[in-house]
Amino acid sequence: MKANDPCWCGSGKKFKRCHRNVGATVQQGVISPMRTVPDTIAKPTWADGGDVERWDEPRVKSPEILERMRRTGREAADLLAYLGTLCQPGATTEEIDIACHQGAIERNSYPSPLGYPGPVSPFPKSICSSVNEVICHGIPDDRPLVEGDIVNLDVTLFKEGVHGDTNATFLVGDVDEASRQLVQVTRDCLEKGIEAAKPGNQINAIGRAIQTYAEDRGYGVVRDFVGHGIGEQFHTDLQISHYFHPRLTDVIEPGMTFTIEPMITMGSWRAQMWNDGWTAVTTDLSRTAQFEHTLVINDDGAEILTTPSDTSIHPFWALTTVAG
């Protein structure tokens, strides 16, 4: 964003006189070497340099698999809630990644992103940390968080042969009102998507609900990244768009498991990639936020599998009940 461009926050001021000096442009810091996980912990196929093995996993899960997913989802949510408390001015996302890595091991879990194959190189960290204009898949580094940042932390754990995937956007110190409102609307978009995830609805009803809510309030909805089926595989064939996609007409059934994870922007919804092959940012460097839950569809709606034990840790984390 150029100095004389209108600021991404919608204030009407020029960028140079508004958010230029409060961390609006993220620069990648130093990335430390990949850490290891003890061999005593069960690992997915890509760990230690392996490939992602894909198979035709049933979309509707058995009761036994669902119980394992409930336990693993709660573990991931509790770890994420703790990591959110570390999002303070002066902390680095590298330090948060260390805490995530250690927290996964303490829970006898494998951090699912670690070593996941990518277009350039495997993902080198245990958590995705996406600051300000970074939409998703930011790589933790030694850049200190500063007052006014917003940061999304995305935690996925592999335990008992299944994955639990969740993320939330946290405020770093005193954050401007426009960014706070973005985070609130994004959290509300997740709720709207969950409310639409009912048996008998088409999958595209989820995206319609999210897109309508966000755009009615002047926000953009990222198209390039979607929610996904999940279970014994990190990503199954189900795609959950966060905008209305007319071809996503599969009918939602009880027993299906998938994530909803809307990425909402203050400005352009379009994304561009950094050379690392992972980090996606908004093309106009406007801020973006994201929230995610793993769900199972029950007879009357969606059950959230990634609710933390203590929701009071996060002021925006109010989704604690079954959406009926």
Stretches where the chain sits below pLDDT 70 are 1-3, 8-11, 13, 15-24, 311-324
Return the pLDDT at 324. 31
Residue 26: count other Cβ atoms within 10 Å of its Cβ. Answer: 20
- Given a contact cutoff of 8 angstroms between Cβ atoms, the answer to whether 7 and 14 are in contact is yes
Pairing of strands 271-273, 239-240: unpaired
Cα 285 from Cα 135, distance rounded (Å): 10
pLDDT score, position 23: 45
Domain 56-313 architecture: Alpha-Beta Complex (3.90)
pLDDT at 25: 77
| Closest C-alpha to 217, from 264, 170, 169 | 264
Full-model pTM: 0.91
* pLDDT number for residue 26: 87
What pLDDT does 322 receive? 29
Taking residue 254's Cβ as centre, other Cβ atoms within 10 Å add up to 14
- DSSP structure class, residue 256: B
CA–CA distance from 55 to each of 19, 86, 92, 231 (Å)? 47, 37, 38, 12
What pLDDT, in 10s, does the model give residues 41-62? Answer: 999 999 989 999 999 999 999 9
The span from the CA of 233 to the CA of 44, in Å, is 9
- The answer to whether the beta carbons of residues 41 and 157 sit under 8 Å apart is no
